[in-house]
Amino acid sequence: MPLLRLNRLSLAFGHRPLLDKVELEVFRGERVCLIGRNGEGKSSLLRIIGGEVVADEGECWLRPGMRVASLAQEVEIDVSGAVFDVVAGGLQELGALITEYHHATHALEQSDSPGILQRLSELQHELEVHGGWQFEQRVASVLSRLQLDGDAEFESLSGGWRRRVMLARALVCDPDVLLLDEPTNHLDIEAITWLEEFMVEFPGALMFVSHDRAFVRRLATRIIELDRGRLGSWPGNYDDYLRRKAEQLEVEARHNALFDKKLSQEEVWIRQGIKARRTRNEGRVRALQALREQYRQRRTRTGKVNLQLDQGDNSGKLVFEAKDVNVSFGENAVIRGFSTTVLRGDRVGIIGPNGAGKSTLIRVLLGELAPDSGQVQRGTRQQVAYFDQQRGQLDPDKSVMDNVAEGSQRVMVNGRDIHVAGYLRDFLFPSERLQSPVSSLSGGERNRLLLARLFTKPANLLVLDEPTNDLDVETLELLEELLMDYQGTLLLVSHDRAFLDNVVTRSLVFEGDGRVAEYVGGYSDWLRQKKAGEKTARQDNAIKPAAAGKGSAPKAGKLSYKDQRELDALPATIEALEGEQVLLQETVSDAAFYQQSADEISGVLARLESIASELEEGYARWQELEARLNNLPGN
């Protein structure tokens, strides 16, 4: 039995339907990713399920007694107070009682006045009456699991920690259905990885919206796509969805082409001369009218953003050269002993936790901040375009058009003088939105507008600070293609692991204590090189004590009997696991799979996750034993 069912649900804003009689069932243990273009209505659908918005028609059914909690795309601006108070607020009226009791116990530590003792006694009684003790313990448990300080002030936290607090607020009611809208926004890679691990263990039904492809690949057991008002269900992982969706779009394009050809032929027939009218078949006329109506109601897919960038004149071959740069704020060393050389055409990723100093490093390289010591040499003929993740270059009170054209009707792009309306149409802004204030735009629309503004100016040095937030996957992939073909120099700050892997050719990584290390390639390359370095260091440390104690090391020459037996058995074990994985994936892909009981569904999905972990461990162990065998003398 499903936890959640949508039955012919419809929602429209103005003349355009966002949801058109959509249907959906979600079961316990599922992790459903909701995807779709910006503005398709994904957030609106989550808000309907969360009870914040009422649909125009249809039914949103929840199994009786089910609790639903949600994490919004943006942190509410009116949230304040201690972290404990914010999290307890997720329990509504009982949360206020728990919060007051929490503060009363703290007050008692400072003073044992009779008034405080009396109020504490009253609160204890009320908590006992309402069964509040278990909920008070739940608040403490959630704070501990999410590594949050209950006494910290919410307003003093960074964006990433604020989202973690709001997640705790959602989890404290022990929801059966959890709704997450772009949960990775403003989180650094460490926090995103933590969230992935946390969500894998969530026992209820998870429904989330995300543009982070690595996050979706790690979590999703089913993809739900909102496309032109309809929901399509795609069992399996994200890569399965991409393959099958491409096949569906190809079939749809062929069908539309045949339909359009038939309609065109019938329109020619109806407009023929008097002879045709005398012999006209009324049934054929009615069929033509039906074709016209079908064509009128057809909703075409939203077009793709047309990204074009004027690369300007070539800069000098040397873009930046830093030598032994040090930057500190007070006693905090942000950058320590940093040296690098950036040449024309380099695509450099900057990776690190929130607050590590990534923006500071960019300011030092661009000459906006002088280092405490060391030197930074900048090259010649630089034309810089800077994408600010805070979107500070956009005036929220001005219109979409004025933010790009600055009061004019025309813009210069790639040496061509064009009307701003035509230019913004390439960024999917229809004419009716041009006079809308920027404050009315969604996060994804604001990012597209900032890109449109940025790309009106020639640039041979692109500095992009978190450009992927809120962008839909299709626009994200188009931006990737643009940057991969870009002949200028790129500095990219991003927590999107797939984006980094696909775009950058080298990475500068903040590794703590002000150290910035340099690696070849993107995020996955950094992880691989880092692990290899740690493994080498462990081997070196293991060899040194053995060498110091003469005769204490085991004699090299072959693997131990136990290790050799394990190595011989591993290929067959891995092959069996892979075979089981294929069979289970075929089972999950079957449309009838989600008609089973919740326990059967959960069992299959849990086994799939377990197999993935076992395979990863098996391959790692095989590689380790092979490496040890191949490094032995005589091999």
CATH class of 303-383+458-553: alpha beta
Mean pLDDT value across residues 563-571: 80
3-state secondary structure 509-543: EECCCCCEEEEECCHHHHHHHHHHHHHHHHHHHHH
397 contacts 437 by C-beta, under 8 angstroms: yes
567 pLDDT higher than 90:
no
Query: Residue 364: how many CB atoms within 10 A of its CB?
Result: 22
Work out the pLDDT band at 504, boundaries 50, 70, 90: very high
Report which secondary-structure segment, H or E, holds 380: none
User: CA distances (Å), 129 to each of 85, 124, 418, in order?
Assistant: 21, 9, 71
229 contacts 18 by C-beta, under 8 angstroms: yes
Altogether, the residues listed in the chain come to a count of 635
554, two tokens = 């085991």
> Poorest-confidence range of 112-126, 356-370, 385-399?
112-126
How does pLDDT run across 6-50, given as a tens digit for each residue?
999 999 876 667 888 999 999 999 999 998 887 788 888 999 999
Tell me which residue of 522, 495, 497 sits closest to 507, measured CA to CA. Answer: 522
Q: What is the predicted pLDDT for the residue at 374?
A: 94
3-state secondary structure 13-32: ECCEEEEEEEEEEECCCCEE
Rounded CA-CA distance 493/355 in Å is: 12
Question: Please, what is the Cα angle at 119 between 116 and 125, to 5 degrees?
Answer: 140
Rounded CA-CA distance 190/492 in Å is: 18
Domain ranges of the chain: 82-156, 303-383+458-553, 391-457, 555-630
Rounded CA-CA distance 165/559 in Å is: 50
Mean pLDDT value across residues 344-369: 91
456 contacts 21 by C-beta, under 8 angstroms: no
CATH code of 555-630, in short, is 1.10.287.380
pTM, rounded to two decimals: 0.67
